[in-house]
Structure 1
Amino acid sequence: MEYVWIAAGTGLVVVSLAAIAVRRRRSSESRASERAHEAAQEREPPVEIGESYTVGVTEFSDHHSGGTVAVGKVEGFVLFVEDVPSGVSVGDPIRAKVVSFNRGHTSADAVFVERG
């Protein structure tokens, strides 16, 4: 019976340590994201409304507009690209036209122009 309690206690310790490690990693990622956001607020955007840029698609994301958009970056500045054709995949280069800045000018919305 003692072995059962020891095994259960050891399992609980392992699960607890794993949970702490995951929590620390998330908080570290959260801090890095906050620092990047603050830095973006302090600089002028490297894009202009009406101009087109070639970006690599880094991911697809749900956007506040309700649709799915491609995410790309220009000098680390995030573009949310709408109207991307279904054949485009992560890693593909695309050309996108900037149509508006988001609050704080820390990112911009763009529309798909063509494959890059």
Structure 2
Amino acid sequence: MDYVLVAGGVGAVVVVLGVLWLWRRLTSGGESQRAHEAAQEREPSVELGETYEFGITEFTDHHSGERVAVGKVEGFVLFTEDVPERLSEGDVIRATVTSFNREKTSAAAIFEETA
């Protein structure tokens, strides 16, 4: 009889954990979507032709296959080309904004110098 109670308790815990996991997955996607929509509605915090100083947060491969540095200026994402191979995440650089993506939620920039 004790085994039945223990098995029932374990089963209840598993169900509760499963529901919590599912609820968390569903709600976290909503937050991401709301943040994306908010980014589309705000004006860019950078201007074409202007040079900005920011830290490199990561590197990614551009659709052309070129390595680009990713960083943010006041929360606005910049993808910077022509960054020297010697630089790494955390380095501070200056780059000039060359274009915006279609929805103006990010911009392309070209490396100028290290800060």
- Partner residue in 1 for 2:58: 59
Structure 1 segments of 4+ aligned residues over 4 angstroms from their partners: 24-27
Q: 1:36 to 1:62 in 2, by over 3 A?
A: farther
Distance 1:62 1:70 in 2: 9
Distance 1:56 1:68 in 2: 16
Percent identical residues = 65
Distance 1:31 1:84 in 2: 35
- 1:108 partnered with 2:111: no
Structure 1 unaligned residues grouped into runs of 5+ = 1-12
Counterparts of 1:28-67 in structure 2, within 5 Å, are 28=28, 30-67=29-66
Which amino acid counterpart does residue 77 of structure 2 have in structure 1?
V
Q: 1:111 to 1:32 in 2, by over 3 A?
A: farther
Distance 1:39 1:62 in 2: 26
Q: CA RMSD in A?
A: 2.6
Pairwise CA distance, 1:106? 0.3
Structure 2 unaligned residues grouped into runs of 5+ = 1-13
TM-score, with length taken from structure 1: 0.73
Distance 2:33 2:85 in 1: 32
TM-score, with length taken from structure 2: 0.74
Distance 2:27 2:63 in 1: 24
Secondary structure of 1:104's aligned partner: coil
Distance 1:86 1:51 in 2: 24
Pairwise CA distance, 1:26? 9.1
When Rg is computed on C-alpha atoms for both structures, the one with the higher figure is: 2
Pairwise CA distance, 1:65? 3.2
Which amino acid counterpart does residue 97 of structure 1 have in structure 2?
T
Q: 1:70 to 1:31 in 2, by over 3 A?
A: farther
Larger deviation: 63-72 or 92-101?
63-72
Distance 1:40 1:82 in 2: 23
TM-superposition CA deviations, 1:44-86 (whole Å, max 9, x none)? 1010010000010001112233322100001100000011001
